[in-house]
Amino acid sequence: MRIMGLDYGTKTVGVAVSDALMITAQPIETITRKSANKLRQTLARIEAIIEEYGVERIVLGYPKNMNNTIGERAEACEALKEDLERRTGLEVILWDERMTTMESERILMAGGVRRENRKAVIDQMAAVLILQSYMDSLKQNEV
């Protein structure tokens, strides 16, 4: 089984997919939207990736506020969750993504990725961290 991880932002969506054994998450791409409210092409691209990789579940980053409240971005993620479930028929899990973008930035800086190049992959890295965190939690629950 493969799982897709998504980092949903106002203009981009970072995409990661697990390996078939659900051990590691790999970055796939960053989907860029021309307008924050236009999701049709984004959803179509996500569906194409689901088909290409045989994805059976989606983990969507859920940007709660640091005090655990739900803000405007989290509400947008809830709406995307409903759209994805309706269009794909797959289960979509909202997963706490607090600090993943900052952690992604730190990892990329430590890896020597130049500032101008980090912007292109930071959303993918955040999607990897979201997905990897989810898969690690599944492993912990098995023990």
**Would you kindly state where each structural domain of the chain is located, as residue ranges?**
2-142
pLDDT in tens, 60-119: 999 887 787 788 888 999 999 999 999 999 999 999 887 677 777 777 778 887 877 777
The burial of 64, by beta-carbon neighbours within 10 Å (0-12 exposed, 13-18 middle, 19 or more buried), is given as middle
Question: Among the listed ranges 32-36, 79-83, 128-132, 134-138, which one has the minimum average pLDDT value?
Answer: 32-36
pLDDT in tens, 8-57: 988 899 999 999 999 999 999 999 988 767 789 999 999 999 999 999 99
- Amino acid letter for position 50: I
- 141 φ, ψ (degrees, to nearest 5): -75, -20
Q: Are 60 and 92 in contact (CB under 8 A)?
A: yes
Please indicate whether residue 141 or residue 28 has the higher confidence score (pLDDT).
28
**pTM of the predicted model over 0.75:** yes
What CATH number labels 2-142? 3.30.420.140
- pLDDT confidence of residue 121: 82
> At residue 143, does pLDDT exceed 70?
no
Q: Are 122 and 101 in contact (CB under 8 A)?
A: yes
